[in-house]
Structure 1
Amino acid sequence: MRIWSIIAVLILSIGSVHAQTNTTNPNPASIPMEAFFKDAKFTNMEISPDGKHLAVIYDTGNSNTLAIMDIGLTTIKAKINFGDYMMISGNIMWPRDDRFILSYAKFVGYLDTKGSNPIYVAYDLDGQNGRQLTIPQRTWYTILSMLPSDPEKILVSKSHWADEGQTKLWTINVDNGKEDYIGGQPKGAQSIITDSQGNPRFGIAYEESDDDELGKGTSTFQVKQTPNSEWKKVGFTSLYKKGANLSLLGFNRDNTVAYVASDAQTKVQSIYAVDMATLKATLVHEENVADVSGSGRLFDGSLEAVVVARDYNRVVFLSEESELKTIMMQLYATFGVSEESSNLRVTSFTRDLNQVVFSMNSDRDPGVFYVFNRGLDGSAPSIRELAVAKTEIDPSLMAPMTPIKFTSRDGVELNGYKVLPITGKAPYPLVQIIHGGPHGPRDYWGWNREAQFLASRGYAVVSVNFRGSGGYGKAFEESGYREWGGKMINDMTDATMYMVEQGYADKDRMCVYGGSYGGYGTLQSVVREPDLYKCGIGYVGVYDLFEMKKAGDIPKRKSGRKFLDHVLGTDEALMREFSPALNVEKIKADLFIAHGSDDVRVPMEQYESLSSNLKRIGKPYISMIRDEGHGYQKDKNKYDFYNQMEAFLAKHLK
């Protein structure tokens, strides 16, 4: 009865909810292109531990800015921006009520998902007394704990390239940046987690010899059963086999259980609870479709849930007594939504867990931020809308995104998503969007500005998580190794044919588009299937595998060269077959090729290899070069690109 009485109050006090209905302009095609690609007004909001301030992050061209505001969003106390291509992470940390920590890194373009090593900086609430806490040259820092017993310091693990990834434990003073080595880490550890009080309790050591295949080395678990006990090696046979994909996730609220993700016994990562008293590992969630893609934590960092994106983004609560579960169930009921209609993301809590900042977004809605006062202090429970991420978007004019599942030509189950226009009728002209990476990234259910833009113009859209994509287990990802231009392209073709066979797509009006690896997939698709697609749009793409091993930032490192040999192979005949720039004679589709002259991830040598070979055979193409990195971020360049895309597609598919 308590939950329902709270929900009744919430429904009465929720205030304005973001749910517009457009009655004057019901045609999505009339929505300006800029509405889709203009920077979001807000990308993240987090509340301070005392509930008096909000840390707000918003995009500003080719960088982003953090502002500290009062809880009513009426006064800006501080504004921080690090300049062009410097992006602030969405995770703000608060060692004290009067001091916060942010991290930023250099990203070389919109499609750069890696960035440089992050730099951590601490500030007072007014943006003064800034102090850089980390120096990332050849060193990687991970913040492990805010150390609740010592608010002047944080606990970090610090790894140096010369130590082969082995991590050491240090504290850093958040006021003056002074580092102190405290030691006490387990020998050879490369990953460590702490309990909610900041005590290091669980570690994994990893060793890979020259004879080991990449990622197939030997792991060892090391555990401290109590904060004051010694480290001990534990076998955990149910969690481990050589080459298993292991992740230390965190501790529960009372620090009696540690959670570990492992695929030693299942196709993808399942979740195990390790009792810290008995060191017994118990399976708490068996998963056979998708890996863990996110987590849900309370203010103290204790783990309460994980996210598994099988189709929609499913939240798996790790305990029936979960505080986070109580909160999210209240919010789902209040808004009348579910995991299949909305993504509910809790961004932050106050120290007393009374106030919760969360965002609600979906496939049709870029999102709204709210603050939930739970009434634990005796006040009336309420929800207040804080901000709409993109006021230019009317969700009622957006198209639903629906998960799809089909079997490839050789019997592999594939997952993806389709978006169909809300006007017109099937079969529609089709655009397949190919994600980048390819190893690690994947497509998810949720807001996708490119898919919505194309659907508003009358195109059906399909995206598939082809072999090699991340998120569906280590074996699925590795099944794409040395298959960049082979089975991975077959999966994309099979996704296109699925849309035709289901009656969604017109087989005579189809185009393929993608950025980074997606640009590669685009050009290799029109090489492999010259009669299937009318056109292809390659955006900052890889087109020549020989050049990939020579130019760019990946082959500069020994580990990068080893990775490229592992995923691309060393067979020169196969690399030539899988390089679309070297097979342009097979292309019949019309082409639009866009690149950034400052791209260091996929440098101009890739564009030049493709363009020179197209010119050699007299194949016409539309070209766009801008002074940007790996994906355009400046408004003018973004708008030029998507305007050109719209005109190009209309010419060939309408």
Structure 2
Amino acid sequence: MKKTVFAVLCLALFAAPALHASDVDVGAYVRQESFRDIKLSPTGEYYATSVPLEDRTILAIVKRADNKVVGRFALERNNHVSNFDWVNPERVVISVAQKFGLLDEPSATGELFTLNTNGKSDILVGYRVQSAGPGTKIQAKKVEDVFARLVDDLPHDDKYVIISTSPFNAEAYTQAERLDVGTGHRVRITSAPVRRAEFITDAQGVVRFASGRNTDNAQQLYYRNGDGDEWTLINDENVSGSVQLPLGFSEDGKVAYLQVEQASGPDKVVARDVATGAMTPLLADDDTDPQVVLYRNASSVPVGLSYMDGRPRTAFFDTASHEAKLYRSLEQAFGGDPVRITSSTSDGKIALVQTWSDRNPGDFFLFDTVAMKAEHLLSRSDWVDPERMGTTTPISLPSRDGLTLHGYLTRPVGATGALPMVVMPHGGPFGVRDDWGFDRDVQILANAGYAVLQVNFRGSTGYGRAFNQAGARQWGGKMQDDLTDATRWAIAQGHTVADKICIYGASYGAYAALMGVAKEPGLYKCAVGYVGLYDLPMRHSALTRASDSGATFANQWMGDAASLAAVSPNRMADRIKVPVFLAAGGEDEITPIAHSEKMEAALRAAGVPVETLYVRTEGHGFYKPENRQKFYTQLLAFLSRSLGGGVASTSPAGGNATAR
């Protein structure tokens, strides 16, 4: 299937000669993956797969028997398939993202389309729905500008799905609707009693939970017994001091599964008796929150969890269940690498299994659950040679005030002893964390000969409420100290040497990189900021103007505007004594290019060596391969001047060289 399908879609792969050891084939890393996602139809007769092209992302339906493409969905230039789900054996529902103006990072449009196995496609919901015309009494589809999401594909109902719709408003109320996937006709089921709500259904497709946040950003969870019943508030974060996230229901609907924050330590998953409200603990890790919910085949019934506990690991509510035994067999068969059943036939006999690692972007296998045999289907990036990739090891270390910090250290393949190192703080900073897996930025740096240090500083998600909230109002403070402590830990452990370290990050990570060289002028030899924010009062003002909830977030998590100038890197340029590289996009609406321009001006005024790469048609993170190649080429050259690592080769973006 792999070679046939992607030949049809003009994505055939070619070999290329190996590179000199000091070169980094950046073109191989910025090249588009062969596909974005792939899902098996309920009968197993077809695959649906999203395929990125140069100016759009298309969806193809492929018949398994002969690898023939029987359906293709593609909108005009700059429109992208962002998500899709099989809703019956012959039909896929598609969510779309679009580029607006010069913004090169696609943004969700809230539209829902369908593609059938006979090749026909249609729009169900969204601004492109056309009126049947004046005087027409029959109008199946509503002509209105709303944002729609799929809530439940109703596996046992081929005609209807449950969706949520809301106006394009940052503080909108959401309603749940029943959508006819053939005609586009929508019928309201219920409206959420809280803003920005998401709905959870039970195994019978009844909407029973609504979880949302009002302008104070505190979570509220509402429950109802069934259709027609009133909503009842069962958790208010302002009262309980914790968030309770609904995960789903038992098959009979008598038990609800919730992920509940704790006063200290990681979240727990509990079983709530919906009749009495009694909650029984089910699963909890010693330091890590649940990351992914695992469901029973062809249902919305949760059966287990995946934790990012250094490396991914799975845990199940019932260790003797069919799902638990199947996962244990798969994990053993794939040598302990993480596995995930991404889709399966409705009878459960054939499953599509994804496996990946720190050195492999991912492979997909067809697994016969009866014969217990796996057949390789395709790879995300089969020009990447896992044997030549760096190895990522989970680490933990104490902060100066006693918090345990977790993170990752990646070393080039075959490297020994102390190495020049790049510290790479993640973005966010809240609601984000670094994970174990294949990271292209990390591997580019490892390929150039660097050790790469990533640390989930306080404020990162995934380690419980207290750890997350410990980062509030700590911009340039304890969050920054955690990065400093991790860097000094790496020196003390012999992973690097004190005069061979640079710091590089994107978005908040760029802020942390520039704050790092301002606050610790002797620790780093250079700094790189990519699509960064450097003027905190400007960011605070932008959030406050955007919405009431944005203003609440700015005050609660950043701090009051008057105090933020003192921890803004562009106001501290005179303390920076090492070279700086800044890159930004002119259409960035999250951290506008003005942040980088102000940072550049301040550095030049202070006499700090600075170089820049500004791409006026890019947004928050460069999207086009040729622009990403320019960035990584300049990044490696910049780092090499301070640390002596490898530089980029001259292969073209999207080239076919084997990554080394």
Q: What TM-score do the two structures reach when normalised by structure 2?
A: 0.85
Unaligned residue ranges in structure 2 (runs of 5+)? 1-14, 129-143, 645-660
Report 1:373-412 matches (<5 A).
Answer: 373-375=368-370, 380-412=371-403
**Following superposition of structure 1 onto structure 2, how do residues 342-381 of structure 1 map, counting pairs within 5 Å?**
342-375=337-370, 380-381=371-372
Quote the offset at 1:267 in angstroms. Answer: 2.7
3-state SS in 2 of match to 1:365: coil
| Equivalent residue number for residue 6 of structure 1 | none
Amino acid at match of 2:358: D
The partner residue of 2:53 within 60, 77, 102 is: 60
Encode CA deviations 1:459-495: one digit per residue, 9 max, x unaligned: 0100001111122222222222221111111111111
CA distance in 2, matches of 1:527, 1:433: 16
Post-superposition shift, 1:389?
Answer: 1.0
Counterparts of 2:99 and 2:115 in 1: how far apart (Å)?
A: 22
Check the 8 A contact 2:214/2:549 in 1, yes or no: no
Amino acid at match of 1:346: I
Secondary structure at 1:588's aligned position in 2? coil
**Secondary structure of the structure 1 residue equivalent to 2:600:** helix
How far, CA to CA, are the matches of 1:567 and 1:207 in structure 2?
Answer: 16
Deviation at 1:323, TM superposition (A): 3.0
| Cα distance, 1:86–1:579 mapped onto 2, change above 3 Å | farther
1:101 aligns with 2:102: no
Q: Which residue of 1 aligns with 2:223?
A: 222
Distance 1:381 1:569, change over 3 A: closer
What SS does the corresponding residue of 2:309 show, helix, strand or coil?
A: coil
Aligned twin of 1:611: 600
Task: Pick closer, same or farther for the CA change 1:187–1:35 going to 2, 3 Å.
Answer: closer
CA shift, 1:151, in A, is: 2.3
Match for residue 628 of structure 2? 638
Query: Residues 160-195 of structure 1: CA distance to partner in whole angstroms, max 9, x if unpaired?
Result: 578955443321121222221233x67558443211
Shift in alpha-carbon separation, 1:164–1:461, aligned structure 2, 3 A: closer
Match runs of 1:236-251 below 5 Å: 242-251=240-249
- Please state how far the C-alpha of 1:520 moved relative to its aligned partner: 0.8
SS at match of 1:632: coil
CA contact (8 A) 2:105 2:618 kept: no
| 3-state DSSP of counterpart to 1:508 | coil
CA contact (8 A) 1:431 1:462 kept: yes
Tell me what 2:552 maps to. Answer: 562
1:206–1:56 CA distance, 2 compared to 1 (3 A): closer
Q: Distance in 2 between matches of 1:191 and 1:463?
A: 32
Q: How many residues align?
A: 610
C-alpha displacement of 1:115: 4.3
Alignment partner, residue 151 of structure 1: 158
**Deviation per CA, 1:492-539, whole angstroms, max 9, x where unpaired?**
111111110100011111100011111111111111111111111110
Higher relative CO (Cα under 8 Å, sequence separation at least 6) belongs to 2
Tell whether the 8 Å contact from 1:423 to 1:458 is kept in structure 2 after alignment: no
Is 1:272 equivalent to 2:265 in the alignment? no
TM-score of the two chains, using structure 1 as the length reference: 0.86
Q: 1:198 to 1:42 in 2, by over 3 A?
A: same
How many Å separate the matches in 2 of 1:547 and 1:571? 9
1:299 corresponding residue in structure 2: 298
Structure 1 residue 590 displacement after superposition: 0.7
The whole-number CA distance in structure 1 between the counterparts of 2:66 and 2:545 is 46
| 1:318 is aligned to 2:320 | no
Q: Which moved more, 1:524-533 or 1:81-90?
A: 81-90
Structure 1 portions without partners, runs of 5+: 1-21, 209-213
- Is the 2:264–2:465 contact (alpha carbons within 8 Å) kept by the matching residues of 1? no
Q: Is the 8 A contact 1:108 1:600 kept in 2?
A: no
Aligned in 2, Cα 1:273/1:304: closer, same or farther, shift over 3 Å? same
CA–CA separation in structure 1 for the residues paired with 2:105 and 2:255: 33
1:172-187 matches, cutoff 5 A:
172-183=179-190
Give me the CA root mean square deviation: 3.1
Matching residue within 165, 168, 171 for 2:175: 168
Counterpart of 1:299, as a letter, is A
Aligned match of 1:75: 68
* CA shift digits 1:76-95 (9 cap, x unpaired): 223334466644334x3222
Deviation at 1:555, TM superposition (A): 3.9
Q: Report deviation, 1:44.
A: 1.8
Secondary structure, in 3 states, of the residue corresponding to 2:577? coil
Superposed CA deviations along residues 527-579 of structure 1, whole A, max 9, x for unmatched, are: 1111111111110100111221345x88423322332232221252x311211
Q: Distance in 1 between matches of 2:149 and 2:29?
A: 35
| Equivalent position of 1:282 in the other structure | 280
Aligned partner of residue 429 in structure 2, secondary structure: coil
Instruction: Choose 286-295 or 476-485, whichever is displaced more.
Output: 286-295
2:82 aligned to 86, 89, 93, which one?
Answer: 89
Residues 83 and 343 of structure 1: is their aligned pair in 2 closer, same or farther, counting only changes over 3 Å?
farther
Within 2, Cα distance between the matches of 1:251 and 1:153?
Answer: 20
Cα deviation for residue 444 of structure 1 reads 0.3
Aligned-pair distance for 1:439?
A: 0.9
Identical counterparts, % of pairs: 30
**Structure 2 equivalent of residue 624 of structure 1:** 613
Deviates more, 1:637-646 or 1:302-311: 302-311
Equivalent residue for 1:579, pick from 546, 568, 575: 568
Deviation at 1:422, TM superposition (A): 2.2
| Residues 598 and 233 of structure 1, relative CA distance in 2, 3 Å threshold | closer
CA distance in 1, matches of 2:100, 2:265: 35
